Structures are given as C-alpha cells and as structure tokens.
Structure 1
Amino acid sequence: MKRKDPLTVLRDHVIATDDQTGSPGMKAVDIERALERAGFAIMSNEAAALLAFIVSRRGINEPVLDQVLIDLGLAHIVPYDPAQHTGGSDQMLPGDSYLKYSDALSAVLEHGRVHISAASGKLQ
C-alpha cells in the first residue's frame, strides 16, 4: 500500500471532518493526530535540517553536533545551574558552559523517545 503524502492526509481529514464543529485548538489537535496516524510528525524546519545534515554526512561527532545545534537555533550555551538543568554531569560546576535545548528540539526529542525505544529493541 502506498503511503499518502502529508497534504493528502490533511485534505482527506479536512474533508472528512468539515461538518463537525469544534474549537480551533481541538481542530489543530485533530489534524496533528491524523498526521500521526498516517506516520507523520510535525517538527520545526530546523530539526528537519539537523536530521538531513546528519543523514547526508552518515553520522556526526559530538562537537560538530553541538555547533550545528547552536547554528540552527536548536540550542544555546547558558551558565550551568543545577537547580534548573537536569542534564549536567557530576563534574559540572555552577556557572560552567551548558548546552540548553530549545523548545522545538525538546518537543522532537519527547516525540521521538517512544519511536527510538521501539527501534532500539528491533536493532538488538
């Protein structure tokens, strides 16, 4: 079975639910869920660019990844604050440089967590 492209999914969903009433927020949630059922996810252009960069280079090392995240606006360097930042190592001291992810990247990581854990089980 051929997979539908995102615009076809949206058009089909809008046509199928055209006569239903609902708030704009609920309509947005319905559209996002229709895309997810079809195997798509809404993500920022910057996150898609990051994925394309990694795939085109067939991998990436940590320093390059950090720089690309900063260049794309998916992360920025802030002073480490143990009360705010949960991802620091035991060796980090308050005030050290800390790479803080943007909301867009955090949303992608949260969405991808389930898919990554499912895929990692298949790879082992």
Structure 2
Amino acid sequence: MDFDPSDFPFVTIVKDDGRGSAGGWQQAKANLKFTHRSSRGTTEWYCAITIKMPIRTEFMGKIDPIRAANLSEEITEAVANVMDYNLPPGIFCKDFAGKAKVAFKSTYPLLGASVTNP
C-alpha cells in the first residue's frame, strides 16, 4: 500500500497549555483505500480509522500535525503490507486498526498513540 501523509489530517482536540513535560491531544480521521486483486477480479474497499496522539511528549518532544501524519503513514503502510487481503472488508478493517494500534505501541512505545475503527 502507498498511503500519503495528506491522508491523515490531524486537528487539535485538546490544546497544549505548555505546562509540564507533555500536553495536548490531536487526532486524524482517515478513510484509507484498499485493493485486492485475485483470480476472481479486483475488490476495493475503504477502512475508516481514527488515530490520536499527543501534541507534546516527554520523550519524543513536539509532535506537530505534519510529524503526526508522517508517523501515521509509516505505521499504516507497514501494517497494510502484512495484512490478509482475503478477509471480508469489515473484518479486515477491524483487524487493520487493531494491528496499527499494536504497531504504534511497539514502534513508538513512549508516544501514547491510539488507533480505533469507528
């Protein structure tokens, strides 16, 4: 898969007050397109996911919307490349969101990102 940072339009949901070692919260609602080609033809579907992460962290510093989008692209592409595209779209999307959440936690354990499939 080849997602783009623009697929992850991060917006502030809790402003960073600048106090303490971390603060603020942002999220992106993405609708990612998937394509599966098989002997039966081509199937396309979309997975709606929400990615949330802090604006400022103690260990990773400031996470502006561009950096958040780049991190999201990195993680979702890595997960998409190892998914089972034979799953029904609904199950695929739920599994994809769960695996993206795990990938964020294992790749960036101090970030505190979350991924949900609404």
Q: Which category of TM-score, normalised to the shorter sequence, fits these structures?
A: under 0.3
Greater percentage in strand: 2
Higher helix proportion, which one? 1
Choose between structure 1 and 2 for higher RCO, CA contacts under 8 A separated by at least 6 residues: 2
TM-score, with structure 2 as normaliser: 0.26
TM (normalized to structure 1)?
0.25
